[in-house]
Structure 1
Amino acid sequence: MRALQSIKCNRGFQFFLKFSAAAIVLSGFACSSRQETAQMQQSHAPSDGPGITVNPHPHQSGNAEAGRDVYRFETFGNEGFWTDAARLPKGMMDAEFTPKQALEAGLQIDIEAIDPAMRKTLETEWKTDLSPQNAPMLNDPRTMVALVNANAIVGIVPKDSNNDKKLDITAGDKVGISCTICHTITDKSVYDMQGGGSVGRRVDGPAALTLNVGKLMATAANSRALYPNLQQTFLGVSIGRAPSGLGPNSTEAEVDAYLSNPAFYPIGTFDETQDGNGNPVKNVPLFRQDLAAPYGTAGEFSKLEDIGNSSYTTNLDPTTLLTPEGRQFLEMKAGPAGKQMVSEYEKILKDTGVTNYPFVKAELVGGVGNPASIVGRRVDNQKLLDMNAYLDRLQAPAGAQVNPEMAARGRENFRMSCTQCHNVDQSKFVPPT
């Protein structure tokens, strides 16, 4: 039971080493201790919380308008990974992936990016039962290609890779992934699929909690290229939701089966750490990030721009782990298990014909293991600071409509039980502890 608690509670970046059994017990003990402490806490005098108006964790920021474009469309070259390594566009076309299936997978569609003629037809079809008879374009894979080319599929960004000043993923252009795939929804003004994606104007910041990341990655023609982010086996043991881990000889079908199973890879989650553990974590909102420090699942980043850099240089292009700096990082953090992952991942890329990596465009700055450059690389820092400014400015969405009497009682309970650490006014900063 304690081991299960540790797996559930420990969301940090951890590798399975020969000492992992002890680590699990210690982590479980810490988690249990926190739970027991919370149970022992008594109510306190009602208050509105310890809120202050000065940010105790300030970070640099740039131009918010430029930051919006970075957030929505910047890939820093990861289109090389998603097109040439994972081969997502090929997989989508091979599977004859349609707009209806995209919505079923939780993807969001930006109505304002669609040309007027197609938009009019699709808006009519979204008012039907979406059957092939009543919505032929929504069931046509050619429409999906057109929507990707139009930059209308939120987070899946086409790039003019062949420099012909046109966007066409069937004619040599590539597809990358931006932050918005997990951290943007729409206003649902045109269509909202129950349990899936939506169609409307972009709303940046809220988490995409109906996005089936695993299913989307399984659509890629070479999902084995995502190996560092999958559940593996180290020293005969595997940690994760699946009963057993994947290995260097696992087939594409086996990897796809793991990714497509919500019991192993839950909807609304992304496995953000290259640790070989099956540990997908919930997509999180990214509004008012000036209030959110420290950053990362385990709070391991004190600066917003550093977790942004980490996402671009590892999560969205894991081939950086096979650079000398990436290997150093894995060995630094995981010892023999890190070497094992490097060897196995290198074999997978060789077996699947992936070359010329890494793909992300970043400056080699050293400082391996440092939060500012965990694999010794840093993307354009000004763009990271611009994105900081945009994410600081994004406001929280309106709250749900609730019973006012229940809300009033809940507010008083919150003021008596929670405001030693938290604020009633969520726009205020919390003092450092």
Structure 2
Amino acid sequence: MPVKKAISLAVTLVALVGMAFMLVSGGRAQEDSSLEAQSNGKKEKGFDRQITANMERMIEEGRDIFRNDTFGDEAFWGDLLQLHKAIEGAQFGGVGPGVSPATALAVGLKVDSEALPNSLVKDLKKGRVNLDDPATTLALIKLDAVVGVKGAFNQDGSLSSVGITCAVCHSTVDDSFAPGIGKRLDGWANRDLNVGAIIGLAPNLKPVSDLLEVDEATVRAVL
């Protein structure tokens, strides 16, 4: 057989084998993809279903702890620093002018818009909510809308204490409603949080000054 003819035949055979391989591989890929799709569409059974249910339960429990558990730190923020008294102000049984939503936002606290009732959202959009009134702050805390801040209330509506959760530092919002107000972004650092300014709002900084062995005036000056 002439050399040229042999080479031509060899090239043709290689091409045919390559095409056959591609067709088979493509068919197998489609089959594998189809099987995977069928598998994903099947309901989990037995132990697999228990694993998934346990995973989902643990995620929900973790989210709840992250958002809502103060780990008893009301003993510090409430009992010692008495921050709740500064938040509500003298008008509601506390001390000073109180902390308005405008002040709360200014020190970096965030408001979860999804925790707000529709009526309040409408009023906010129409400018009917006084963001300079501490009463509005108390209402937002009652709605659990201030991210990472948990309030304990007396029967008369005044604050009896306040606690802080992990979310105050490790959650923020997307500002979709207004600056500092929007949908929660858990796990995103709150880069706007001014911890010193928040502590500085507390009426009793003696526990901090005692710990640092300086006077309260120095603590407030530093904060």
Query: Shorter-chain TM-score: what band?
Result: 0.5 to 0.7
Structure 2 match to 1:209? 191
Query: What 5-or-longer segments of structure 2 have no aligned partner?
Result: 1-54, 90-95
Tell me the SS of whatever aligns to 1:119. helix
Does the 8 Å contact 2:85/2:159 carry over to 1? no
Match 2:201 to one of 219, 235, 245: 219
Structure 1 match to 2:149? 156
Match 1:86 to one of 64, 68, 81: 81
- Partner amino acid, structure 1, of 2:64: D
Following TM superposition, by how much is the alpha carbon of 1:225 offset from its aligned partner in structure 2, in angstroms?
2.3
Structure 2 match to 1:12? none
Aligned-pair Cα RMSD in Å = 2.4
Does the 8 Å contact 1:151/1:157 carry over to 2? yes
Structure 2 match to 1:129? none
Does the 8 Å contact 1:158/1:176 carry over to 2? yes
Q: Residues 47-66 of structure 1 correspond to what in structure 2 (within 5 A)?
A: 63-66=58-61
Structure 2 match to 1:177? 164
Tell me the SS of whatever aligns to 1:211. coil
Query: What 5-or-longer segments of structure 1 have no aligned partner?
Result: 1-60, 126-134, 193-197, 233-245, 260-433
Tell me the SS of whatever aligns to 1:80. helix
Once residues 67 and 139 of structure 1 are traced to their aligned partners in structure 2, the CA distance between those partners, rounded to angstroms, is 35
Once residues 101 and 123 of structure 2 are traced to their aligned partners in structure 1, the CA distance between those partners, rounded to angstroms, is 13
Tell me the SS of whatever aligns to 1:137. coil
Structure 2 match to 1:143? 136
Following TM superposition, by how much is the alpha carbon of 1:152 offset from its aligned partner in structure 2, in angstroms?
1.0
Does the 8 Å contact 1:95/1:219 carry over to 2? no
**Cα deviation 1:343-386 (Å, max 9, x = unaligned):** xxxxxxxxxxxxxxxxxxxxxxxxxxxxxxxxxxxxxxxxxxxx
Once residues 228 and 209 of structure 1 are traced to their aligned partners in structure 2, the CA distance between those partners, rounded to angstroms, is 29
- Partner amino acid, structure 1, of 2:174: D
Once residues 99 and 146 of structure 1 are traced to their aligned partners in structure 2, the CA distance between those partners, rounded to angstroms, is 10
Structure 1 match to 2:102? 100
Does the 8 Å contact 1:106/1:210 carry over to 2? yes
Does the 8 Å contact 2:86/2:97 carry over to 1? yes
Is 1:71 matched up with 2:66?
A: yes
Following TM superposition, by how much is the alpha carbon of 1:116 offset from its aligned partner in structure 2, in angstroms?
2.5
Structure 1 match to 2:181? 199
Does the 8 Å contact 1:98/1:143 carry over to 2? yes
Structure 2 match to 1:44? none
Following TM superposition, by how much is the alpha carbon of 1:71 offset from its aligned partner in structure 2, in angstroms?
0.1
Provide the TM-score with structure 1 as the length reference.
0.35
Does the 8 Å contact 2:84/2:159 carry over to 1? no
Provide the TM-score with structure 2 as the length reference.
0.65
Q: Structure 1 pair 171/71, CA: closer, same or farther in 2 (3 Å)? A: closer
Structure 1 match to 2:122? 120
- Partner amino acid, structure 2, of 1:183: H
Following TM superposition, by how much is the alpha carbon of 1:211 offset from its aligned partner in structure 2, in angstroms?
0.8
Q: Could you list the structure 1 runs, at least 4 aligned residues long, displaced by more than 6 angstroms after superposition.
A: none
Identity %, equivalent residues: 35
Q: Structure 1 pair 85/208, CA: closer, same or farther in 2 (3 Å)? A: same
Tell me the SS of whatever aligns to 1:175. strand
Match 2:174 to one of 181, 187, 193: 187
Does the 8 Å contact 1:224/1:255 carry over to 2? no
Once residues 223 and 181 of structure 1 are traced to their aligned partners in structure 2, the CA distance between those partners, rounded to angstroms, is 20
**Cα deviation 1:111-169 (Å, max 9, x = unaligned):** 122232222212333xxxxxxxxx76111111011111211111111236x6x6x9x4x
Once residues 159 and 169 of structure 2 are traced to their aligned partners in structure 1, the CA distance between those partners, rounded to angstroms, is 27
Does the 8 Å contact 2:208/2:219 carry over to 1? no
Question: Which fold has the larger relative contact order, with Cα–Cα distance below 8 Å and residues 6 or more apart in sequence?
Answer: 1
Q: Which structure features the higher share of helix residues?
A: 2
Q: Residues 13-412 of structure 1 correspond to what in structure 2 (within 5 A)?
A: 63-92=58-87, 93=89, 94-125=96-127, 137-159=130-152, 168=157, 170=158, 172=160, 174-192=161-179, 198-227=180-209, 232=212, 247=214, 250-251=215-216, 253-259=217-223
Q: Structure 1 pair 99/171, CA: closer, same or farther in 2 (3 Å)? A: closer
Once residues 257 and 144 of structure 1 are traced to their aligned partners in structure 2, the CA distance between those partners, rounded to angstroms, is 26
Q: Number of residues paired by the alignment?
A: 161
